[in-house]
Chains A and B, each alone.
Chain A
Amino acid sequence: MSLRSLNIPVIDFVGKRKIALIFSAMLLIASIASLGLQGLKFGIDFTGGTLIELGYEKTADLENIRTKLAEAEYEGANVQYFGSDTEVLIQLEPQATSSAKLSSSIIRMLGDGIDVRRVEFVGPKVGEELTNDGGLAMLYALIGILIYVAFRFEYRFALGSIAAIVHDVIITLGVFSILQIEFDLTVLAAILAVIGYSLNDTIVVFDRIRENFLATRHVEPEPIVNEALNQTLSRTIMTSLTTLLVLLALFYLGGEVINSFAGALIVGVVIGTYSSIYVASSMILALGISKEDMLPSEKEKKEIDARP
Chain B
Amino acid sequence: MNHYAAWKNILIVFFLFILGLFALPNLYGSDLAIQISGSGNYDVSQRDLDKIKDTLSDSGVGFKSISLEDKNVLVRFNDSQTQLSSKAILKDSLTRNYVVALNLAPSIPQWLSGIGGKAMSLGLDLRGGVHFLLEVDMNAVTTMALDRYYNELRAELRKDKLYKKIRKEDNLLLVSFKSEELKNEAKKVIKNDLPDLVIAEGTEQELELGFEISATAQADAKLGALKQNITTLRNRVNELGVAEPIIQQQGTERIVVQLPGVQDTARAKEILGAVATIEFRMVDEKNDVQTAIQSGKTPTGSKIYKFKDGRPLLLKTNVITTGENIVDASSSMDENNQPSVSIVLDSSGGRSMLDTTKEFLGYRMAVVFIENQVETVMEDGVAVKKRTKTQDIINAATIQGTFSNRFQITGLDSAREATNLALLLRAGSLSAPVEIIEERTIGPSLGADNIQKGLISVLVGFALVLIFMAWRYRVFGLVANLALTLNLITIISILSLIQATLTLPGIAGIVLTVGMAVDANVLIFERIKEEMRSSKNIQKAISSGYEKALLTIADANITTLIASIVLFSFGTGPIKGFAVTLTIGIITSMFTAIIVSRAIINLIYGGKKVEELAI
Contacts and interface: CB of A to CB of B under 8 A. Distances in A.
Of the listed residues B378, B464, B512, B579, the one surrounded by the most CB atoms of chain A closer than 10 A to its CB is B512
A40 interface: no
A94 B381 CA distance: 10
Given A203-B556, A239-B522, A246-B464, A137 B436 contact: no
Given A6-B533, A104-B266, A257-B450, A243 B512 contact: yes
B563 A94 contact: no
Contact of B515 (A246, A255, A257): A246
Interface stretch (A9-17, A182-190, A282-290): A182-190
A39 interface: no
Contacts of B562: 141, 144-145, 148
Given A117-B446, A200-B560, A261 B570 contact: no
B26 interface: no
Contacts of A261: 505, 508
A73 B514 CA distance: 49
B560 A185 contact: no
Contact of B437 (A123, A241, A244): A123
Contact of B439 (A7, A120, A241): A120
Given A185-B573, A242-B518, A246-B511, A140 B523 contact: no
Contacts of A110: none
B456 interface: yes
Contacts of B575: 134, 137, 185-186, 188-189, 192
Contacts of A247: 461, 511-512, 515
A189 B567 contact: yes
A153 to B, nearest CB: 9
A96 interface: yes
B566 A115 contact: no
Contacts of B439: 100, 103, 119-121
A258 B458 CA distance: 13
B265 A104 contact: yes
Contacts of A149: 559
A53 B446 contact: yes
Given A118-B443, A121-B436, A196-B563, A249 B573 contact: no
B572 A1 contact: no
A123 B438 contact: yes
Given A148-B559, A152-B555, A239-B518, A125 B570 contact: no
A120 B530 CA distance: 53
Contacts of A239: 515-516, 518-519, 522
Nearest to B516: A243
A37 B573 CA distance: 30
B440 A125 contact: no
Given A99-B375, A137-B575, A238-B472, A116 B438 contact: no
Contact of B512 (A97, A134, A137, A246): A246
User: Most A CB atoms within 10 A — which of B465, B551, B560?
Assistant: B560
B454 interface: yes
A101 B270 CA distance: 8
Interface residues of B, number: 81
Contact of A126 (B269, B438, B504, B518): B438
Interface string B497-531: 00000001101100110111011001100100010
A136 to B, nearest CB: 6
B23 interface: no
A250 interface: yes
Contact of A136 (B379, B551, B564, B570): B570
A221 interface: no
Contacts of A186: 505, 508, 574-575, 578
Contacts of A257: 125, 450, 504
Contacts of A193: 512, 563-564, 567, 578, 582
B442 A118 contact: yes
A112 B594 CA distance: 56
Contacts of A96: 377-379
B556 A204 contact: yes
Given A100-B436, A189-B567, A239-B519, A246 B559 contact: no
A199 interface: yes
Contacts of A258: 453-454, 457, 504-505, 507-508
A134 B582 CA distance: 18
Interface in A228-259: 231-232, 234-235, 238-239, 241-250, 253-255, 257-258
A176 B542 CA distance: 44
A234 B436 contact: no
B606 to A, nearest CB: 18
A119 B453 contact: no
A245 B468 contact: yes
B437 A250 contact: no
Given A137-B571, A250-B508, A148 B442 contact: no
A232 B557 CA distance: 17
B273 interface: yes
Nearest to A129: B572
Given A145-B563, A261-B505, A249 B512 contact: no
B567 A137 contact: yes
B319 interface: no
Contact of A250 (B133, B461, B469, B563): B461
B526 A234 contact: yes
B449 A242 contact: no
Nearest to B439: A121
18 contacts: A1-B534, A94-B378, A116-B443, A123-B438, A125-B383, A185-B572, A186-B508, A193-B564, A196-B563, A207-B551, A232-B526, A235-B522, A235-B523, A235-B526, A250-B457, A253-B453, A254-B511, A258-B508
Closest 7 CB pairs of A and B: A246-B461, A249-B461, A243-B515, A123-B437, A100-B436, A196-B563, A137-B570
Given A130-B572, A152-B555, A254-B508, 19 more contacts: A8-B533, A101-B269, A116-B441, A121-B440, A144-B566, A145-B562, A149-B559, A186-B578, A192-B571, A192-B575, A199-B563, A200-B559, A203-B556, A211-B548, A239-B518, A239-B519, A244-B515, A255-B450, A261-B505
Interface of A: 1, 6-8, 53, 55, 94-101, 103-104, 107-108, 115-126, 128, 130, 133-134, 136-137, 140-141, 144-145, 148-149, 152, 185-186, 188-189, 192-193, 195-197, 199-201, 203-204, 207-208, 211, 231-232, 234-235, 238-239, 241-250, 253-255, 257-258, 261-262, 265
